[in-house]
Structure 1
Amino acid sequence: MTPRPLLAALALAVLSTPTFADPPDFDRPGAGFATTVLPAGTLALEQGLPTYERERSDGFLDRTYTADSVIRLGLGGPVELQVAGSAWNRLEERGMGSRRHATGHGDTSVGLKWASPGSGDAGSFSWAALGNVTFDNGDEDFGNGAREVSLGSTMQWKPDDDHQNTLYANVDHLKGRNTWTLAPTFGRKFGDQWMAYIEADAIHDADEGNELQAGGGLAYTIGDHLQLDAYALHRVAGHGPSFIAGLGVSMFFGRKS
């Protein structure tokens, strides 16, 4: 199944779920993902609106817009299924006296997330692991060109009810090469609805070398089942995008127990 009908079918399942359960932690925004999973039989949609990247390389300036989607399904116990993709992307390329643009969809990934039984209360430690397989089914300008396997983990410390610190570690294996990511994040709540954080992303690519991004973001909760977010990262050193920014919305859909 191609990404568009797959994501559309899962989105329809999300939207057709009639009633609500207690809300979970969302994976958006920031590096890594929540150290909790969804309750069994519940769904969440986390949608970019979109993400923007700017990168200059070899005399070309590329601007990319990506409407990235993640659909999460609680399988019961400490396990969760995730399906992710980008049904719409746009590339704007300028350089050498020429201009080019392209639109299309990206690759699709399927993953399993496992969360530790940590309580998530103040003074606690918790962690989760996520394994993904990304299939080479995107359009030429927006796909990896080969199947990719990823394994990541997020570790979280909550010194009190208002602060949380996380460390995200991940490895992507693509075309026989590994890309490593290590990203600490420091977050703080402001009242019941606002959360702000800062982060630093250290990335080592086997082909292109090292990259360091730094930035932060905000999340605003509306009710118990909706979250809006905004974030931005700027390249501090090395290769990679010079600027990344995005808006997003996360929605939780569940059933009453």
Structure 2
Amino acid sequence: MPSFVATHRGRRPQLHRRGDALLRGALLLAATTGTAGVACAEDAPAFDRPGIGFASTTLQRGQLAWEQAFFDGSYDRDGDVRSTEYVANSRLRFGLSARTELQLAIDSQVWQRVRGGGQDQRGHSGGDASIGLKQALPSASDRVSWALLGSASLPVGRAPYGDAGHRYDLGVSAGWDLPEGRSLTLYGNVSDSEDGSGWSISPSYTFYAGDTLSAYVEAGIGGGEDEMRALGSGVTWLFANRVQLDLSVLRGLSSQTPDWQGGLGISVLLR
């Protein structure tokens, strides 16, 4: 599951960030050649979009998935000052083995606007990038899955849209399959950055899962540099067994969390 993460005021949302020309080229190549390679797998993987956490399974060896945010956005009001941000995040997932995958992510564009209090500032640029390795762990039950994801940010963007410094994350996601297609997922993450350390926990519950449509609710709580309190929900629509559209929203419940966050995106199993 997830893609956008609630954060506190004064700090860019953890929506993942901009890379160099080679990474941009890889993302563009995957997007434009995806139709030719879209044909091999019988079932779509559990995509990491949308939500706070990530899927508790990995791609199979040789599979390639592209997850693209049309936008991941946040809105926050602090007195008379209103802040808005939209991020176009791209993520490539490569299946290295039956239980291991490599992830490359980039915020290709970041748009920001701050209004009120005598100011009206806006701008956009590329953000930062990240690289991660995801490992599915053994389970004694077919109805239980869990995975670890370690990632490091690549601060190659231009401030204030990127260049947030180095950050390292280690997350775990555990999923339980329930009757009638429902499921429960518990996600936890610890982070370390130049600004300090943080932690976050998020349970989510998929209360409806049809052949193509599914819907879930989630909550998020965090501390330190990842301070957050939020509740949210989302829906996904799967078609052709390998293309998924998603729509999600989070409502901030503390002064350190943006008032609203939301995302609209697409995920494609390229091969």
CA shift digits 1:75-134 (9 cap, x unpaired): 01310000011101100111221211110111110000001244985xx22110000010
Q: Indicate if the aligned counterparts of 1:21 and 1:253 stay in contact, CA closer than 8 A.
A: no
Q: Distance in 2 between matches of 1:2 and 1:185?
A: 31
TM-score (normalizing by structure 2): 0.86
**1:168 counterpart residue number:** 187
In the TM superposition, structure 1's runs of 4+ consecutive aligned residues that sit over 6 Å from their partners are none
Shift of 1:227: 0.3
Q: Distance in 2 between matches of 1:15 and 1:188?
A: 35
1:110 equivalent to 2:127? Answer: no
Q: Indicate if the aligned counterparts of 1:11 and 1:45 stay in contact, CA closer than 8 A.
A: no
Query: In percent, how many aligned pairs have the same letter?
Result: 32
Cα distance change, pair 11–40 in 1 and its aligned pair in 2 (3 A): farther
TM-score (normalizing by structure 1): 0.90
**2:10 counterpart residue number:** none
For 1:11-30, list aligned pairs within 5 A: 11-13=28-30, 15-16=32-33, 18=37, 19-22=39-42, 23-30=44-51
Cα distance change, pair 104–120 in 1 and its aligned pair in 2 (3 A): farther
Cα distance change, pair 137–127 in 1 and its aligned pair in 2 (3 A): same
**2:27 counterpart residue number:** 10
CA shift digits 1:120-155 (9 cap, x unpaired): 85xx22110000010111120122531111110101
Question: Which one has the bigger strand percentage?
Answer: 1
Q: Indicate if the aligned counterparts of 1:14 and 1:43 stay in contact, CA closer than 8 A.
A: no
Cα distance change, pair 56–244 in 1 and its aligned pair in 2 (3 A): same
Cα distance change, pair 252–64 in 1 and its aligned pair in 2 (3 A): same
CA shift digits 1:191-220 (9 cap, x unpaired): 2011100001102124xx842110100001
Q: Indicate if the aligned counterparts of 2:114 and 2:120 stay in contact, CA closer than 8 A.
A: yes
Corresponding residue to 1:32 among 41, 45, 53: 53
- Give ranges in structure 1 of 5+ residues lacking alignment: none
Shift of 1:237: 2.4
Q: Indicate if the aligned counterparts of 1:234 and 1:242 stay in contact, CA closer than 8 A.
A: yes
* Range 157-166 or range 242-251, more displaced: 157-166
**2:167 counterpart residue number:** 148
Aligned length: 250
CA shift digits 1:15-61 (9 cap, x unpaired): 43534223211111112111111121221011111011012347531
2:77 alignment partner AA: R
1:253 equivalent to 2:270? Answer: yes
Q: Indicate if the aligned counterparts of 2:76 and 2:82 stay in contact, CA closer than 8 A.
A: yes
**1:179 counterpart residue number:** 198
Corresponding residue to 1:74 among 84, 87, 95: 95
Shift of 1:177: 0.8
Corresponding residue to 1:219 among 236, 244, 255: 236
SS at match of 1:76: coil
Q: Distance in 2 between matches of 1:189 and 1:133?
A: 34
Cα distance change, pair 96–14 in 1 and its aligned pair in 2 (3 A): closer
Cα distance change, pair 176–195 in 1 and its aligned pair in 2 (3 A): same
Q: Indicate if the aligned counterparts of 2:58 and 2:95 stay in contact, CA closer than 8 A.
A: yes
Q: Indicate if the aligned counterparts of 2:19 and 2:106 stay in contact, CA closer than 8 A.
A: no
Q: Indicate if the aligned counterparts of 2:50 and 2:263 stay in contact, CA closer than 8 A.
A: no
Q: Distance in 1 between matches of 2:172 and 2:145?
A: 11
